[in-house]
Amino acid sequence: MSDFHSDSMQRLFRAISLLQNEKEAAAFFDDLCTIRELQDMSQRLETAILLDKGWNYQLISAEVGVSTATISRVNRCLSYGPGGYKTIIDRLKEENDEH
């Protein structure tokens, strides 16, 4: 886990925080990641959103196309992680409430 706090990792997080809109984010992540990596990340976020809504593992697996192992990992992060998913889910909810 020491690589997680490396200078280059911190620079990546800083770079992401400097993105100003979805168009910039899409361009940056398109350059940075493979299609599969982006699909995996988007599936994990979708899984977190559905878990937050109370969906069960079988429904999430069928809807999102992820394994129950992935769902379990995301659920552990939601329950015991540092709060990244929760922060984004709450902000997405706020954004939806404003529109």
In tens digits, the chain (99 residues) has pLDDT values of 456 679 999 999 999 999 999 999 999 999 999 999 999 999 999 999 999 999 999 999 999 999 999 999 999 999 999 999 999 999 999 999 887
Length of the chain: 99
For the chain, give every domain's residue range. Answer: 1-32, 34-99
Q: 34-99 architecture in CATH?
A: Orthogonal Bundle (1.10)
pTM for this model (two decimals): 0.89
